[in-house]
A and B are shown apart, each in its own frame.
Chain A
Amino acid sequence: DIQMTQSPSTLSASVGDRVTITCRASQSVSYWLAWYQQKPGKVPKVLIYQASKLHPGVPSRFSGSGSGTEFSLTVTSLQPEDFATYFCQQYNIGPYTFGQGTKVDVK
C-alpha cells in the first residue's frame, strides 16, 4: 500500500498567517491527491482535488500544489474558521490511503 506522510503533525498559527502543510507519498500518485478539512464532531470536507483544483465553494485562500510524491496545501491568510485538522489522501492506486493528519491550532 502507498504510505502518505504529512508534516507537521501539529501547526500553531495565528489569524492572518500563511501556513503550509506537506504530504509525501511513498511512491508516485501522479496528481491524484486530495486535501480534506475536518472540524471536531464534523465529517471531513474536500478542499482540493487532483492536487491543485479548488473544490467548488472552497475559499480561494486555500491552494494545493505538487505532483508525483510531494504535495502541499497552503492557506494564504488563516481565518478563525480554518483552525481544524487537515488530511491528504491519494486516490491513484487502491487502497486510497490517507495521511495521518495535521492539526492547525491557535498559537
Chain B
Amino acid sequence: QKEVEQNSGPLSVPEGAIASLNCTYSDRGSQSFFWYRQYSGKSPELIMFIYSNGDKEDGRFTAQLNKASQYVSLLIRDSQPSDSATYLCAVKGTGGYNKLIFGAGTRLAVHP
C-alpha cells in the first residue's frame, strides 16, 4: 500500500462545475495535510493546508479532512480552464520532522 494515494485521472469537468479531488493516506498518526497545484513543466504551488477534522475554505477552494477515515479532499468551486493542472496531495511525515510525502497527483482538466 502506498503511503499517499490519489486517483491519477484525468478528472474532466465542465467550466463552472465543482471539481472534487480525493486523497487517502496510510499513517494514522499524520497530523498535517497539504494540497499543491502543479502546472505542466512548473514546480508545485501551495494551495491550502489543513490540520483539523472538518472543512477549511479559502476562496473557491475547500479542503476537507477526516482523520478517522484517513481521507483528505479538495473541492474547487466554479472551476475555470486556468484550474487545469495536476493537484498533489502531501502529508507531513510523523517523527518530529517535516518531510512531505506526496501522492502521484490527480490531473484535472476543465473544459469550456
* A and B: interacting chains: no
- A contacts, CB < 8 Å to B: none
- B contacts, CB < 8 Å to A: none
